[in-house]
């Protein structure tokens, strides 16, 4: 790889509360794509407006980060709902962010579902198909951030929706190549995370929780802003990539 996208979830506060280290203004200049919370798992109108303006100031591409209707659980608890209901909720959130993007004369680059919704679309064929079919009608050029090999990835490839596959720097992988979903992530060693990302970029593999190396296919590296010490993780990862002559840039 000569260029890689570096993305992070931004604007994940609500009212006077901030999630994680509250360092959006420090992380934003270091990334190339921002996934902006759209109100259901985190975010509110003032936070969305402020986050879009921050991304514009630093030349960062923006995307909608819709979640399940679960402020209390931060969108990380599974909610049983029909596929069309989940997709309608995503459309509602996408529309909200699109207006703030229009206010700042910015295009929306992508959509990336959050947390339990992301994992549901990775597994559920019906929900994935309804979602991608809706995107095809609404905005066929909107990039869809997802995991390689997931249900939503397969449907998007079938129907022609452009995808950006992700590598999760601050999450563990199992031997199936899927991330190990967790609601609580402890502090991580920044240099170990950076080394993990660089190895994935250079060798195309990641070490699993079972101690095996598995191939990984991706176009973007994600570091969650609510991971403890997120700023240090982003700083170390960016420094390690640039030292290896790997540039940071939004997907083309």
- 139 Cβ partners below 8 Å, 6+ apart? 108
The length of the chain is 252
- What is the residue range of 66's domain? 3-248
Give the number of other Cβ atoms within 10 Å of residue 104's Cβ: 13
Per cent of the chain over pLDDT 90 is: 88
Burial of 105 from C-beta contacts in 10 A (0-12 / 13-18 / 19+): exposed
Given a cut of 90, whether residue 143 has pLDDT beyond it is yes
Per cent of the chain over pLDDT 70 is: 97
**Separation of alpha carbons 94 and 74, rounded Å:** 18
Mean pLDDT over the full length of the chain: 95
pLDDT given at position 90: 98
Q: What is the dihedral of CA 159, 216, 143, 80, to 10 degrees?
A: 70
pLDDT given at position 66: 98
- pLDDT tens by residue, 182-210: 656 778 999 999 999 999 999 999 999 99
DSSP state at residue 110: E
**Separation of alpha carbons 76 and 165, rounded Å:** 21
CB contact at 8 A, 29 and 245 = no
- pLDDT tens by residue, 214-241: 999 999 999 999 899 999 999 999 999 9
DSSP state at residue 171: S
- Determine the average pLDDT of the residues in 124-151: 97
**CATH number of the domain that residue 134 is part of:** 3.20.20.370
Given a cut of 80, whether residue 22 has pLDDT beyond it is no
**Separation of alpha carbons 251 and 82, rounded Å:** 32
- Determine the average pLDDT of the residues in 122-128: 97
What confidence category does residue 23 fall into, taking pLDDT thresholds of 50, 70 and 90?
A: confident
Task: Give, in order, the Cα–Cα distances in Å from 243 to each of 29, 43, 59, 82, 247.
Answer: 18, 35, 22, 47, 9
Given a cut of 70, whether residue 179 has pLDDT beyond it is yes
Domain count of the fold of the chain: 1
Packing angle between helix 125-138 and helix 115-123, nearest 10 degrees? 100
What are the tokens at 32? 């190339």
Given a cut of 70, whether residue 181 has pLDDT beyond it is no
What confidence category does residue 19 fall into, taking pLDDT thresholds of 50, 70 and 90?
A: confident
Span of 4-8, 88-92, 132-136, 180-184 with lowest mean pLDDT: 180-184
**Separation of alpha carbons 166 and 138, rounded Å:** 23
What confidence category does residue 18 fall into, taking pLDDT thresholds of 50, 70 and 90?
A: confident
Given a cut of 70, whether residue 20 has pLDDT beyond it is no
Give the number of other Cβ atoms within 10 Å of residue 232's Cβ: 19
pLDDT given at position 1: 80
pLDDT given at position 183: 59
- 28 Cβ partners below 8 Å, 6+ apart? 10, 34, 54, 55, 57, 58, 60
Phi and psi angles of residue 146, each rounded to the nearest 5 degrees, phi first: -160, 175
């Amino acid at each position: 790889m000569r260029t890689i996208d570096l993305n992070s979830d931004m604007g994940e506060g609500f009212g006077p509360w901030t999630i994680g280290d509250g360092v959006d203004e420090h992380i934003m200049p270091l990334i190339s794509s921002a996934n902006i919370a759209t109100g259901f798992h985190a975010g509110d109108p003032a936070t969305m407006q402020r986050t879009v303006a921050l991304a514009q100031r630093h030349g960062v591409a923006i995307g909608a980060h819709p979640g399940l209707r679960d402020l209390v659980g931060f969108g990380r608890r599974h909610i049983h709902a029909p596929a069309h209901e989940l997709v309608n909720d995503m459309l509602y959130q996408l529309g909200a962010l699109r207006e703030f993007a229009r206010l700042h004369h910015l295009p929306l680059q992508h959509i990336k579902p959050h947390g339990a919704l992301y994992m549901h679309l990775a597994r559920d064929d019906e929900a994935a198909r309804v979602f991608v079919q809706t995107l095809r009608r609404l905005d066929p050029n909107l990039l869809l951030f997802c995991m390689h090999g997931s249900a939503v990835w397969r449907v998007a490839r079938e129907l022609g929706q452009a995808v950006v596959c992700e590598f999760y720097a601050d999450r563990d992988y199992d031997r199936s190549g899927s991330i190990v979903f967790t609601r609580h992530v402890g502090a991580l060693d920044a240099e170990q995370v950076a080394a993990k990302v660089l190895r994935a970029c250079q060798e195309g593999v990641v070490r699993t929780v079972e101690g095996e190396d598995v191939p990984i296919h991706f176009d973007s590296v994600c570091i969650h802003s609510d991971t403890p010490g997120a700023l240090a993780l982003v700083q170390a990862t960016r420094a390690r990539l640039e030292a290896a002559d790997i540039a940071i840039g939004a997907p083309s």
